[in-house]
Amino acid sequence: MAQKYKEDFLKWDLQTLSDGIRTKEISPLEVTRHLLKWIEVVNPKLNAFITVLYEEALESASQAEKEIVTGNWRGPLHGIPIGLKDIIYTKNIRTTMGSEIYKDFAPDYDAGVVEKLKQAGAIIIGKLNTHQFAYGPTGDRSYFGAVKNPYDLTKMSGGSSSGSGAAVSAGLCYAALGTDTGGSVRIPSACCGIVGMKPTFGRVSKYGVYPLSWTLDHVGPMTRTVFDNAVLLNVLAGYDERDPYSVKEAEEDFTRLIWSGVKGSVIGVPTSFYFENLEPEVESQIRKSLEVFEGLGAEIRMIDLPDMQKISLAQQITIRSESYAVHRETLLMGLERYEKEVRERLLLGKNIEAYEYVQSQQVKHYAQQEFRKVLEKVDVLVTPTLPILPPDIDQREVYIKGNCEHVRDALLRLTSPSNFIGFPSISIPCGFSEAGLPIGMQFIGRPFDEANLYRFAYAFEQEVSIPTLKYDVN
């Protein structure tokens, strides 16, 4: 291998590495060996991985290399090391849910998305830390300890896909899978300065993924670039009869619109809720980003989304009810087995009455209609991903323009409505604070319109070119 590859390939994005592997300029086995060494150096600082699959990854890399050398290239993920959030089942490999209860649990089958990755020739490099049972946006409540932000080790990585966000950001894997129930792909993506997509509900199979809330859970890709994200979603998407929420949609290439540009398009910017009570640096960066779109030829149109507080409350009732139902039997076996905050949140669902849950589902239909009406008039909605910068680990209150808010509520405020309505939503980095912390911008689109979201995200990414790899973790 040429010396330049040894020096640089850990910093490449997925597509660049894939091109090098396909043309046999670089070896999957060499990449994996170097990556495992880098994980040994950096993971003790970040705590992103719960389990690193040394033997399995090297075996997969060796197999990929043999196949590619003989001309059997399976596609853009062949030979690419990818990490998995540790609530995604892996056959005979422990899957802990970030909990003491499952610290030694090894499923006897792979999740649907893992099957797809393996069929595509991807290398599973390890299982990534998660807020316990994926029930928390802070990423600092795991049996295996808090995940730290690569940009500042005193700051949260965001959750619940905390390890996924930190690992991709710090170059410990070329992509990762996360799950998103109230923002758990997009929140760590924003905190760690990477790209995270929550697809349309039902677009990606949840078979073999430990549930938090059946009607709100999504699996999504987390990557360094927008194009990488679309390539990964190409592999993940598809109907799975084993998932009762899976939706049959025609197969498509999510990169198909990515080079189309945004000239002549219309971007909707909400007049309230999404732009209320923001930290000044966040608001300033989003406003600058909208100016970039104007410079690219897009029209910015102010729009109104009514009853957002009612919609947010209905989402909370839904997740509390469903998460308690998921965990009820285990809770009865011993409350002390749950981390204190997670236990308290789960118990909030115990006394919700049936009529409240039913009413929340009626609000869901109303919310879907209202968002559809708006998205008939604009091509995409643009909002901040988070109203705040990444907080300190263990911080639980934040003051925004003099108003005190629970950190958890602030982190979830702008992402959870997209889970409730099931519409696709992506977070991309749009800049940094004065202290060097990442700021995320969110795009919300029509159902099954992910390709269009990638178009807008890619246009911005190419124009602004914000680094998405924090390779000098100290």
Written as one string, the DSSP assignment of 317-338 is HHHHHHHHHHHHHHHHH-GGGS
Q: Return the CATH fold of 3-236.
A: Amidase signature (AS) enzymes (3.90.1300)
Catalytic residue among 142, 157, 160, 189: 160
User: Is residue 7 very low, low, confident or very high in pLDDT (cuts 50, 70, 90)?
Assistant: low
162 noted as active-site residue? no
pLDDT tens-digit readout, 333-363 = 889 999 999 999 999 999 999 999 999 999 9
3-state secondary structure of 237: strand
User: Is residue 243 very low, low, confident or very high in pLDDT (cuts 50, 70, 90)?
Assistant: very high
Report whether pLDDT(119) > 90.
yes
11 noted as active-site residue? no
Separation CA 265–CA 111 (nearest Å): 38
User: Is residue 3 very low, low, confident or very high in pLDDT (cuts 50, 70, 90)?
Assistant: very low
Separation CA 194–CA 174 (nearest Å): 11
How many CB atoms are located within 10 Å of the residue 457 CB?
A: 26
In 3D space, the residue among 128, 453, 136, 109 whose CA is nearest the CA of residue 323 turns out to be: 136
Separation CA 365–CA 377 (nearest Å): 19
Buried b (16+ CB within 10 A) or exposed e, 296-310: bebeeeebebeebee
Report whether pLDDT(203) > 60.
yes
User: For position 471, what pLDDT does the model report?
Assistant: 87
pLDDT tens-digit readout, 303-340 = 999 999 999 999 999 999 999 999 999 999 889 999 99
CB of 191 closer than 8 Å to CB of 165:
yes
Report whether pLDDT(2) > 60.
no
User: For position 153, what pLDDT does the model report?
Assistant: 98
pLDDT tens-digit readout, 261-274 = 999 999 999 999 99
- At 459, give phi and psi (nearest 5°): -60, -45
Separation CA 156–CA 412 (nearest Å): 14
- DSSP secondary structure code for residue 133 in this structure: G
- The stretch 435-453 carries a mean pLDDT of 98
Copy the structure tokens of residue 10.
């850990």
3-state secondary structure of 82: strand
- For residue 93, the number of C-alpha atoms closer than 13 Å in the C-beta half-sphere is 24
Q: Return the CATH fold of 266-464.
A: Amidase signature (AS) enzymes (3.90.1300)
Catalytic residue among 85, 127, 148, 206: 85
- DSSP secondary structure code for residue 88 in this structure: B
3-state secondary structure of 222: strand
CB of 426 closer than 8 Å to CB of 198:
yes
Copy the structure tokens of residue 115.
């099957």
Do 3-236 and 266-464 share a fold? yes
Q: Give residue limits of the domains in the chain.
A: 3-236, 266-464
- The stretch 419-441 carries a mean pLDDT of 98
User: Is residue 474 very low, low, confident or very high in pLDDT (cuts 50, 70, 90)?
Assistant: confident
pLDDT tens-digit readout, 160-174 = 999 999 999 999 999
Q: What dihedral angle (degrees, nearest 10) is formed by the CA atoms of 452, 457, 463, 469?
A: -150
The two most distant CA atoms of the chain are separated, in Å, by: 66
Which residues lie below 8 Å from residue 111, measured CB to CB, with a gap of 6+? 88, 89, 90, 205, 207, 208, 209
160 noted as active-site residue? yes
- The burial of 40, by beta-carbon neighbours within 10 Å (0-12 exposed, 13-18 middle, 19 or more buried), is given as exposed
Copy the structure tokens of residue 395.
């911080």
Residue 181's identity, in one-letter code, is: T
Which residues lie below 8 Å from residue 175, measured CB to CB, with a gap of 6+? 14, 80, 82, 83, 168, 221, 222, 223, 224, 228, 229, 232
pLDDT tens-digit readout, 47-97 = 999 999 999 999 999 999 999 999 999 999 999 999 999 999 999 999 999
User: For position 472, what pLDDT does the model report?
Assistant: 87
- At 78, give phi and psi (nearest 5°): -65, 120
CB of 83 closer than 8 Å to CB of 130:
no
Residue 145 sits at the vertex; the CA angle it makes with 140 and 148, to the nearest 5 degrees, is 60
Residue 177 sits at the vertex; the CA angle it makes with 57 and 45, to the nearest 5 degrees, is 70
Catalytic residue among 18, 184, 189, 425: 184
Copy the structure tokens of residue 4.
């330049």
- The stretch 132-146 carries a mean pLDDT of 98
User: Is residue 5 very low, low, confident or very high in pLDDT (cuts 50, 70, 90)?
Assistant: very low
How many CB atoms are located within 10 Å of the residue 327 CB?
A: 21
CA 446 from centroid of its chain's CA atoms? 19
User: Please, which residues bridge with residue 63 across strands?
Assistant: none
Report whether pLDDT(218) > 50.
yes
- Percentage of the chain exceeding pLDDT 90: 96
Report whether pLDDT(291) > 90.
yes
User: For position 473, what pLDDT does the model report?
Assistant: 87
Concatenated DSSP letters for 349-392?
Answer: TTT--HHHHHHHHHHHHHHHHHHHHHHTTSSEEEEES-SSPPPB
Question: Is this structure's pTM higher than 0.75?
Answer: yes
User: Is residue 4 very low, low, confident or very high in pLDDT (cuts 50, 70, 90)?
Assistant: very low
Which residues lie below 8 Å from residue 167, measured CB to CB, with a gap of 6+? 46, 48, 49, 83, 128, 173, 176
Whole-number mean pLDDT of the chain?
96
